[in-house]
Amino acid sequence: MRRILVLGSTGSIGTQALEVIRANPGRFEVVGLSAGTNRRLLAAQADEFGVEHMALGAAEAEQLVRDVDADVVLNAITGSVGLGPTLAALECGRTLALANKESLIVGGDLVTALAAPGRIVPVDSEHSAIAQALRSGDRGEVRRLVLTASGGPFRGRSRASLADVTPAEALAHPTWDMGRVVTTNSATLVNKGLEVIEAHLLFDVDYADIEVVVHPQSIVHSMVEFVDGSTLAQASPPDMRLPISLGLDWPHRVAGVGRPLDWAVAAAWTFEPLDHEAFPAVRLARQVGRAGGTYPAVYNAANEQAVDAFHAGRLSFSGIVEIVERVVDSHEPPARLTRESLAEAEAAARDAADRAIAASS
């Protein structure tokens, strides 16, 4: 039986993880839970699963990781505040089921230096798909990774037409049900930019060999192309419980966790190139990923501030990535990458973003 510590248990990924665990009582045991602010739901979850160890906030979650004996730490915290728990899980030798992509992207070499082979199991559907496909070949046989993107609610729109997009429109994702920040990031394609950096860090593949294609049906979650010309794709209906279950018990599959495709029903899957002019976030992410150091942290922090401003009515939708690019361009990286220099760079990026947002109003 796998002992599971769920961080971010009251959010979208956390609650779905508990659904998987609830349906498999002889396979998983919840040994700890953490939430951001939702005390009531956290208490109800702890009562249902008989959990004594709980935490509120990222700092308490980091200490919980160090104190609780767990086989797997599912980090489903939203945002870069998840870095501390990610580092703690790896330092303690836990398997890290990573839904908090920001901690890997922000932490970069600090995280990868702690991760033994196979210690980080991706929970993002795209990276879970790649991890599954990579089991079919050696690393030297991989030609490139192909990340799929739904295109979000504004696929096919021109850059000019996005200026007056409302928060409600940005949250109307056509295929996935996610939280506010991730859904907005999917609309701007910032999320796909973050996933390009994540793929590079997880699989040690050069940025030139990581492709992004738009796949509106969200059935093929990503692909691996091999040197002999073959491509392996992982396909399933959009349901996060599948990659979550693999994260909890990698590399074993959990029966009945998701519904299969109905191959007897006619269907069409389409693929198209990403419009980098309308959605420049992926291009910018490649730039900051190659720069490394604190640049990805600055990209992420500026975006978090811009997303909040957009939902507060203080910034246009198009202004989100414009603010991020402005802050990235003005960043002066420190000499060394440490937790302290990361924190300072993030704080400076948030201040710079807030100033730029105020000036744009």
- pLDDT for the residue 102: 92
Question: Average pLDDT for residues 202-228, to the nearest whole number?
Answer: 97
- pLDDT for the residue 177: 62
Q: What is the DSSP letter of 154?
A: G
Cβ(325)–Cβ(349) under 8 Å? no
pLDDT band at 173 (very low <50, low <70, confident <90, very high): confident
Count of residues for the chain? 361
Question: Average pLDDT for residues 87-93, to the nearest whole number?
Answer: 97
What's the chain's average pLDDT? 95
Tell me how far apart the alpha carbons of residues 343 and 81 are, in angstroms, rounded to a whole number.
10
Q: Classify 231 as helix, strand or coil.
A: strand
Cβ(111)–Cβ(86) under 8 Å? yes
Name all domains of the chain by residue range, CATH numbers in brackets.
Answer: 2-123 (3.40.50.720), 125-239+262-282 (no CATH), 293-361 (1.10.1740.10)
- pLDDT for the residue 175: 66
- pLDDT for the residue 75: 98
Query: Which DSSP string corresponds to 87-103?
Result: HHHHHTT-EEEE--HHH
pLDDT of 59 > 90? The answer is yes
- pLDDT for the residue 361: 75
Question: Average pLDDT for residues 229-235, to the nearest whole number?
Answer: 97
Q: What is the DSSP letter of 262?
A: -
Question: Average pLDDT for residues 45-59, to the nearest whole number?
Answer: 97
- pLDDT for the residue 180: 82
Please give the single-letter amino acid code of residue 79.
G
Which tens digits make up the pLDDT trace of 246-285?
999 999 999 999 999 999 999 999 999 999 999 999 999 9
- pLDDT for the residue 178: 63
